[in-house]
Structure 1
């Protein structure tokens, strides 16, 4: 009897402590410093309004007042760091070749029209700018704009060169980098721990597990940015024919959405100084849901649409403003 009472009191004590720390994590963890706050994030510069990852897209997004540019990096044969999403150029240029096998001067231009990955049956038609830019071009053009870098391949030289560019342009305080691969994120952190890193997919799964077991409030986290998809967009934008989804696919999507899209999780992380970005959202209903759940920021292919939504709903007060503390 005494043993049962002891076990029960111990469990109750753990539950109460976990609940308290979930709401007040700074009792145990020092809040991470936030040199900038991003509410409005332009995915590939705004792939629904300009050709993705081009200087024209980035200039347009910054002109609108975006808080952050999201982009992707590869390395050419002559070891130039370029901004492009795919390792192979066929989708974006019509030429079947890998970026790593082509010198920068020989890279073909983008096609006139590119499909928008996260908007079903949507094509973006570009203007004059079809050049694949260098990462340094972006840094030079937008010295004060935070940039979110997806390191697309597990390449030590690429990681080193990106770090060198970030340091050269004095951007360690306004850059975040990483990948869904845990190995790439670990290499990024080892190469330059002063540049904040994203949670890898493995670490996201760990985070969710810790949250539902009540252990999250007790675990230190080195990452400063959680960047996750809203699973419900799978049926809306990624499936060619949502009506043909199997029952198991619907169940998996619903379960993933239910587990990830949790206000308590988002609030706990933001209280610890970890920003939560939800991607890639392209309509007002999803914008609203993400912000209502407590997401720090939304990543979109349509920066004009997101800006208009934020202004209309009073969530645009942090646009294009660095925090001073």
Structure 2
């Protein structure tokens, strides 16, 4: 039985959205549709109704879903167990990550994997987004955790965990804080404190401004989000940041305002296609369980 088709069925049932399912599986909407149609033909049932552009499980789909979920779970567990058996003691897994990983679910996944597989020596390092990508290309990391705005290199495979969106970081006393959402036109005359080019967060901001024929007024470019938080709290400007990448617990005077149009990134584990050692395969199977 093709477990990939079953994974597609389970993912579409969870999202009720072919586009979102494709993003989670890191494939195309056309492939998702093709795999669902193949299952429906194989089983001679209709799994989803697609009336009025809304996807819903049919009665047959609801009946078959628990069985499909069980098979997918068992397949993931088998793959992880097989990889773990092959690893043996002393295996090494090198993961390089962006600095903000602690704000994402991936951080807990790495910790859970480490508890489950103490026989694998985990080497966890961090770097800005460009350095993380270079580490994978240069073979200095087995797996990376990074932020994707665009399609990754075709030579890689990815497991996307969650999404994040750009928002505007402002003092609560600012008139901007009272807005439901902000556009780049609203920010045209503001002093901007931004994470620099090496974080890959500068580029989408530049594109937003350029699309409106504007040039951002940059007061600060750097890699330290803590410094940006301190500067915004002291009235030196405002910032555009990823919503989940900043923790405002220690900055009660600051708030985030949605930016429109919405710019979304995907947080993903990425590795190169090809020959992987058992420790890498064990981790890959582990995170695919969800």
Classify the TM-score, shorter chain.
Answer: under 0.3
What TM-score do the two structures reach when normalised by structure 1?
Answer: 0.24
What TM-score do the two structures reach when normalised by structure 2?
Answer: 0.26
Between Structure 1 and Structure 2, the one with more strand by share is: 2
